[in-house]
Structure 1
Amino acid sequence: MIFKFKSLFLLLCVAFIGPVVAQSLAVNSDVKSSDDSIVFKTYTYAIKGEDTLKMDVFTPKNIKMDEKLPVLLWMHGGGFSGSNRAFPDDNRLVKYVAQEQNYIGVSIDYRLLRKNKATGFGCDCPKNEKLETFKQAAIDYLDAAKYLIAQAGQLQIDVTKIIAGGSSAGAEGSLNAVFMKDYFVENKEVYANVKFAGVFSCAGAIVDASYILKANAIPAVLYHGTDDNYVPFANESHGLCNSKQSGYLRLDGSKIIAAKLQELEKSYYFHIVKGAGHEIARIPSEDFGKIFNFFKRVVLNNEVIQTKIFQTK
């Protein structure tokens, strides 16, 4: 393994505007129209009660018969109460990786457990309900990954190169699935074959960064604003709830995650926007080239790179 440690500090001025049922591919796929360079299909990866959970899979049209490609498995944001897998920004990302990076891009739905809840997901939402929401989102994410691995042959997936990722609530769900599986999952054998090669988070956090260990630490791309009032940048209460409110729950944000990866000598690309809030949950399409070049170097080429970028709002 090549070790290349570096810290890059840039100062830029920008403005911001503001029970699981696995389905057979033969009966489960829904072929959609696509452009000249990608094929788009929809699959059901799980049915849980009244929720039918689907994923959109974008594959390069020129994929060779014996080829297996890396995957970006993406989870949309929306406060665990809204949005969907086809939201334009999320759709743009997974299409981009299929068109430009020779990945298979996958965008998933998951159970929106705070939808139509009177307490929402803020400071009136009790701590135990927040933890249960994080748990079930992580489990849905793991089920999606498990489905892809089970169908890897037909989908032509390289199961050793699955990049996890998400924005806002989706970042929390995917980060917790990646780093806190042992905390949230009782039967570890169910997901024994689910492993990730990297993670891409836009304004995300996990419940406890002490669960990031040598065994599960993977390269991470982390985008976060220092003044995020919803998902903490460092170690702070979710939504800045005070200790007397029922929704008080401290989380470890991108700063803490990056520090753990630094300590463990694992790769990260940490893009910090000073003075910015939760708008950094927006997927940074202008940086896609840099982000996937990082993943190419650390996941495909096994380099170790630690980069911090400071940007001003």
Structure 2
Amino acid sequence: MKKLLFFSFFFACSLAKAQKMTTITYFQNDTLKLDLDLFVPENASKTKLPLMIYVHGGGFSGGERESGHSLCKYLANNGFASATITYTLYAKGKNFGCDGALPNKIKSFQFAANDLWLATSYFIKNSEKHNIDVDKIFISGSSAGAEAVLHAAFWDFKTMNLYAKNALPKDFRYAGLVSGAGAIMDLNMITKKNIIPMLFFHGSADTVVPFGTAAHHLCKTNSSNWLMLFGSNSIYNHALSLDGSTSLYTYCGGGHEYSGTLFEKDQFYILNFLNDVLIGKKVQNHTVFKTGKKADKANPYGFCE
């Protein structure tokens, strides 16, 4: 028993030393300073590393980049560079509920997506310094972070860019994305031309961010902050219609509490997805997990087939 405990302790310590973290200011101007935590394998080879950038949740008003440390450490232990970013919390102090102001909600999405573009631009400009393969940059996010990721991937950069000095290479595309309980404002932004590999996971009875197609927070149509969103199931089906590479993990009857599940545990699903993309493997699959919760069949977005 003592030998087993010693081995477990030694193994845990070895993992803890398998990656290293550096905090970096990726953007700063007169009024804004944005940092990220970069994790890389401790003994990385000279081969350029694929990179995952993670965006935390928190309703665009809270949350912290440290919530992505578990995922970043896991990926660094498996040969990836991985970063978790601080971004502009535009909704902080504002009413983000159904009786709030819709322009603030849309601006929250835009600022977060822009900060993700800034972080991406930083890594492209400093790819040699950090040994990053700029053709293998992935993005991921939970809840609000997932909404930022989806819009950063598919919004037109020239139209939605807020920073004059920010520039991404012409025709830049992320290598793929992972969305935990995310949604997009317009499915038409995802086309045959710009689609990328995508992995989604979502509770089917989520009343904050819809699993299917519904209003954000399920607000009534006469609400001042009413906004239709297309959630994981809707995006997944749209991706299938475009013959894209995509996977969906549905937590049957689950709510918004599942928005971070694969980032916090069962992270091998994400690693498998990344490795499949890197070898050019096309995947189209939908996996349903039982949660022990009763799906509400009266709510079409809480029903699991």
* Structure 2 counterpart of 1:82: 62
1:265: Cα distance to partner? 1.2
The answer to whether 1:71 aligns with 2:36 is no
Deviation at 1:252? 0.8
Matches within 5 A, 1:203-214: 203-214=181-192
After superposition, where does 1:112-123 map in structure 2 within 5 Å? Answer: 112-117=89-94, 119=95, 121-123=96-98
Which residue in 2 is equivalent to 1:12? none
How far off is 1:125 after superposition?
A: 2.0
What are the Cα deviations for residues 154-201 of structure 1, in whole angstroms up to 9, with x where unaligned? 100011111110000100001110122356338899323542101011
Query: How has the CA–CA distance of structure 1 residues 212 and 151 changed in structure 2, closer, same or farther, with 3 Å as cutoff?
Result: same
- In the alignment, does 2:34 pair up with 1:53? yes
Structure 2 counterpart of 1:165, one-letter code: S
- Give 2:109's aligned residue: 134
Provide the C-alpha distance between the structure 2 equivalents of 1:98 and 1:227, rounded to a whole number of angstroms: 33
Q: 1:171 aligns with which of 146, 153, 168?
A: 146
State the partner residue of 2:133.
Answer: 158
- 1:250 deviates by 0.3
Measure the CA separation in 1 of the matches of 2:98 and 2:22: 39
Alignment of 1:132-281 (within 5 A): 132-182=107-157, 184-185=160-161, 190-193=167-170, 194-281=172-259
- Where structure 1 has 5 or more consecutive residues not aligned to the other structure, the ranges are 1-33
- For 1:292, give the aligned amino acid: L
Letter in 2 for 1:287: D
Question: How far apart in 2 are the matches of 1:200 and 1:49?
Answer: 33
Q: Which amino acid aligns with 1:289?
A: F
| Separation in structure 1 between the aligned mates of residue 165 and residue 23 of structure 2, nearest angstrom | 28
RMSD: 1.9
TM-score by length of 1: 0.83
CA distance in 2, matches of 1:54, 1:136: 15
Q: Deviation string for 1:209-229 (max 9, x for gaps)?
A: 111012221111100111111
The answer to whether the aligner puts 1:296 opposite 2:296 as a matched pair is: no
For the residue of structure 2 that corresponds to 1:165, the secondary structure is: strand
8 Å CA contact 1:71–1:158 kept in 2: the answer is yes
The higher-RCO structure (CA 8 Å, 6+ apart) is 1
Distance in 2, Cα, partners of 1:234 & 1:169: 16
Q: Which residue of 1 aligns with 2:86?
A: 109
Which sections of structure 2, spanning at least 5 residues, go unmatched?
A: 1-14, 292-305
Q: Tell me, in whole angstroms, the C-alpha distance in 2 between the residues paired with 1:270 and 1:198.
A: 14
How far residue 296 of structure 1 moved from its aligned partner, in angstroms, is 0.9
Which residue identity does 2:107 align to in structure 1?
E
Q: Provide the TM-score with structure 2 as the length reference.
A: 0.85
In structure 2, distance between residues paired with 1:291 and 1:188: 33
Aligned to 2:266, what secondary structure does the other structure show? Answer: helix
AA in 1 matched with 2:202: H
The code of the aligned residue for 1:127 comes to L
Q: Secondary structure at the match of 1:46?
A: strand
1: CA distance, partners of 2:246 / 2:201 = 11
Q: Contact 1:73 / 1:165 at 8 angstroms: preserved in 2? A: yes
How many Å separate the matches in 1 of 2:289 and 2:198? Answer: 18
1:124 pairs with 2:124: no
Identity of aligned residues (%): 36
Q: Secondary structure at the match of 2:151?
A: helix
Q: Is the 8 A contact 1:42 1:54 kept in 2?
A: yes
Distance 1:48 1:223, change over 3 A: farther
Match of 2:43 among 62, 74, 92: 62
